[in-house]
Amino acid sequence: MIIIKVIVIILLLSIQFLDDKPYFYPMIYIENLGRYFAMLRKVFSKPVKWLILKDLILKEMNDLINNSLGIVAFISFFVGGVVTIQTALNIDNPFIPKYLIGFATRQSIILEFAPTFVSIIMAGKVGSFITSSIGTMRVTEQIDALDVMGVNSLNYLVFPKIVAMSLYPFLIAIGMFLGILGGWTAGVVGGLTSSEAFTTGLQMDFKTYHIAYAFIKTVVFSFVLATVPAFYGYYMKGGALEVGRASTTAFVWTSIVIIVLNFILTQLILG
């Protein structure tokens, strides 16, 4: 309990330096948390016509998932390679078997890199896209136009993003595969380990439960990635400059929420 209290205090104190406000505003954070959950309630109420939602979901799948494939593949492949190189170069002792390089790569990529760090990268890419697109609609009164027509603007704008992000685990699965492939390529082509040793390491002490843990995290993060940036875009006030500020704030808070949830989920599932 003491450890948790200390962590919460450190977190609350550090948050003030991450945000662009100079000092601690606990009431604002609590108010925003309440508004976030009130927003979620509205997102799932009064749905718009399925005919319209269907098209929006397909469009969001293309914008959020399909358009992120390239960056996830690129980063995963090269980070997998770097993990392998660093692990190999840190094994000086001849008594440590080479297959541990494959084992360490697998564990790093599956448990942490693919689900968590790719999500932080996605908070920058997808998150800022969501905040700026919804924020621009707010600034140009397009959201007011939806409200005046009697459309549930939160359902129209946010729900398709949540549904589209349900494909996010597939993106992470591709990231896992390419991360390990990158590790294998760097290890084998770079002469740091043999293909057999690397593959033995990959298969060693394999627990399917770790995959389940990674995907449970991924599903939770996908919801955060769709909703936290949408919250900052939807409730922003001001003009073009504020859209930029909202995107930055959304990135900071999405990252914080992902890191905190990563800690809590790891403690709950693996602890």
Partner 1 sequence: MIEVNNLHKSFGDNHVLKGISTTFEKGKTNLIIGQSGSGKTVFLKSLLGIFEPDEGTISFDGKIYSELEENEKRELRTELGMVFQGSALFDSMTVEENVMFPLKMFSNQSKSEMADRVDFVLKRVNLLDAEKRYPSEISGGMQKRVAIARAIVMNPKYLFCDEPNSGLDPKTAILIDNLIQEITDEYQIITVINSHDMNSVMEIGEKIVFLKDGIKAWEGTNKEIFKTDNEAVTDFVYSSNLFKKVRQAYIDEN
The 10 Å CB-count burial string (b at 16+, else e) for 111-135 is bebbbbbbbbbbbbbbbbbbbbbbb
Shorter beta-carbon distance to partner 1: residue 5 or 49: 49
CB of 160 to partner 1, least distance (A): 12
Shorter beta-carbon distance to partner 1: residue 48 or 181: 48
CB of 182 to partner 1, least distance (A): 36
Binding site for partner 1 (CB under 8 A): 46, 48-49, 51-52, 59, 136, 140-142, 144-145, 147-151
CB of 52 to partner 1, least distance (A): 6
CB of 99 to partner 1, least distance (A): 51
CB of 31 to partner 1, least distance (A): 15
Report the candidate in 180, 185, 205, 182 with the shortest Cα–Cα distance to residue 195: 185
- Measured CA to CA in angstroms, residue 28 lies from 13, 25, 32 at distances of 14, 5, 6
Shorter beta-carbon distance to partner 1: residue 48 or 259: 48
254, 127 contact by CB (below 8 A): yes
Shorter beta-carbon distance to partner 1: residue 39 or 216: 39
- Measured CA to CA in angstroms, residue 67 lies from 70, 186, 222, 255 at distances of 7, 26, 15, 20
- How many angstroms separate the CA atoms of 134 and 124, rounded? 15
| Alpha carbon 102 to chain centroid, angstroms | 25
Shorter beta-carbon distance to partner 1: residue 94 or 150: 150
